[in-house]
């Protein structure tokens, strides 16, 4: 091949296209705006759900710690783990968001004769009073969190006129069975006591 042929071929070939940066930046900006819009819609939906649930009374407060106004009650059981949320009882996708119940967080649970103290760093602490407890069971899912069968401790309790399911997962899932037994025994004892009166 002669040098003239090389030059003729080189002249005939198209040069590589230059990247259209303005177009790419436009697409990226559009995508970011779309993501921001979807996030805004989700946030509005969360606020709307909270306003629909505004009829729920404030959460019962955790009893005072030692040195406070009330003496500490002896713990029956305690557990470290995660709080995964609350739903309307029996409707595992109907998330409750009012009063911070929709916020997932670490949790320290303590069962006393007063009920279950739920202490959550970075979120509202609350008490599930003993008289409000209805049942406890092992389940696999609650409002956007699905685990293996029996991987979730679900506590059903009455809050105002509403029955709630609250989902917890211990750091050591083997602890769940003891909690189910203790809570169901506590519920049976309080029901029997109420009938005896």
Angstrom CA distances, 78 to 19, 40, 179, 195, stand at: 61, 39, 9, 29
Assigned CATH for 77-196: 2.30.29.30
Span 47-54, average pLDDT: 62
What's the residue count for the chain?
197
Instruction: Please tell me the least confidently modeled range out of 11-20, 38-47, 107-116.
Output: 11-20
The string of pLDDT tens digits covering residues 52-95 is 666 788 888 887 654 444 545 677 889 999 999 888 888 888 88
Question: How high does pLDDT run on average in the chain?
Answer: 79
Q: According to the 3-state scheme, what is the secondary structure of the chain?
A: CCHHHHHHHHHHCCCCCCCCHHHHHHHHHHHHHHHHHHHHHHHHHHHHHHHHCCCCCCCCCCCCCCCCCCCCCCCCEEEEEEEEEEEECCCCCCEECHHHCCCCEEEEEEEECCEEEEECCCCCCEEEEHHHEEEEEEECEECCEECCCCCEEEEEEEECCEEEEEEEEECCHHHHHHHHHHHHHHHHHHHHHHHHC
Residue with tokens 């008289």: 131
Better-scored residue on pLDDT, 195 or 103: 103
Exposed / middle / buried, residue 184 (Cβ in 10 Å: 0-12, 13-18, 19+): middle
Q: What is the CB neighbour count within 10 angstroms for residue 143? A: 21
Specify the pLDDT at position 2. 59
Return the domain boundaries, the chain: 22-52, 77-196
Measuring CA to CA, which residue among 109, 110, 103, 106 is closest to residue 120?
A: 106
Written as six digits, the tokens of 55 are: 């009829």
């Amino acid at each position: 091949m002669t040098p003239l042929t090389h030059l003729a071929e080189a002249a005939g070939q198209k040069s590589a296209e230059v990247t259209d940066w303005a177009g790419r930046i436009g697409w990226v900006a559009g995508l970011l705006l779309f993501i921001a819009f979807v996030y805004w819609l989700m946030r509005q939906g969360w606020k709307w759900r909270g306003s629909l649930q505004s009829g729920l009374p404030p959460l019962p407060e955790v009893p005072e710690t030692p040195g406070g106004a009330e003496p500490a009650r002896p713990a029956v059981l305690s557990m470290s783990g995660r709080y995964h949320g609350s739903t309307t009882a029996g409707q595992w996708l109907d998330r409750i968001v009012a009063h911070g119940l929709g916020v997932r967080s670490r949790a320290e649970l303590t069962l006393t004769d007063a009920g279950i103290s739920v202490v959550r760093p970075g979120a509202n602490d609350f008490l599930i009073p003993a008289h409000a407890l209805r049942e406890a069971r092992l389940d696999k899912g609650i409002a956007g969190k699905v685990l293996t069968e029996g991987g979730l401790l679900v506590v059903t309790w009455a809050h105002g006129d509403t029955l709630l399911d609250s989902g917890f997962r211990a750091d050591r899932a083997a602890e769940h069975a003891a909690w189910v037994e203790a809570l169901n025994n506590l519920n049976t004892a309080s029901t029997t006591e109420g009938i005896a009166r």
